[in-house]
Structure 1
């Protein structure tokens, strides 16, 4: 069945929206591309939302939005010392709770209403990080995220860690896997995460885009062409 046929609607039932996920290592340009794709979709008249690391607004439900914001604060706006004291298993399950709730109350309702979702900071990078962490079972990490909505298109921004570092300029301890604070620690860890993302790519239907040396406009144009080719979304 073609994508167009899959989205055919009957009566007043809206066609399901597409979920487009952008993934890659830290510094690959995920957030920049996700924001541009979202703006372009909206400007072209497509209903679309951008869901990212700090997205907590649930339409027409201020109480649920407030709950998401409190959970987001616990996970992403916490004290670094306390975070490291909690341990890897705690953070795996905490992140699973965050992604599960965001998927349940934001992404699934939007898709059902015919709204396209651009997902930044998806769980694929989290899986890759845990795959290089010997303290946590890779199988466990895969299981706690297995129920999340399957994206219709994963745009994988491939770039080496050294160039990613040049783009970022600075990094956190988390982005070195808490292995150190030098540039080489960042590069070594991010290249290991990149290798794990490439393994995930082989198991899924991803659109892999080598962005080495590409400027932002070229990356956006290539991704926009992919939306038109894969999902018939013209922007």
Structure 2
């Protein structure tokens, strides 16, 4: 067991170094959100689809879903029943997403890679002293976004990973619902705000998205890796 913990600790450290310090793999910055200033509601992030514009081939129109909404669920991984539910309901989806081949576009590839990383995180950290949670957003019963938070006991909470269905991130994909990741993040922010969390942090590869929703850049500590330089 001690060797297993050392191995996974080394693997996790290596993956983090590869992701956060290599601009060719993952360029982004730390973002923070002060929850007392958060103004958005779940109604701002309904499911939507892209359809090709019949009057202008090659262009796409955003069509909001009028009949259905995203549904959410949280798994407390320190509870046996929730962990078993995660193993049965969520882990197979992470495996499926992480093994997808032939994806097109950077966002789909990132989702694929982070799905595998999330699965490894949960396997490593289960039953640790921290309070772990998995959150999902579903559309018509199908999981469209998954997030992982390693420790929910802190006042300044960090979202370790959030991924959306990589199939829906393929360029020009018109058959699958969009917006699962945005809606899930909004759900998490409101949930943690109600629980007394004061600030949320995450590592972003899409800075404009977060800027437009009230997030701020967190100053990097001296000596930190410089992504994107």
Both proteins in one fold, TM over 0.5: no
More strand as a share of residues: 2
Please give the TM-score of this superposition, normalised by the length of structure 1. 0.27
More helix as a share of residues: 1
Please give the TM-score of this superposition, normalised by the length of structure 2. 0.27
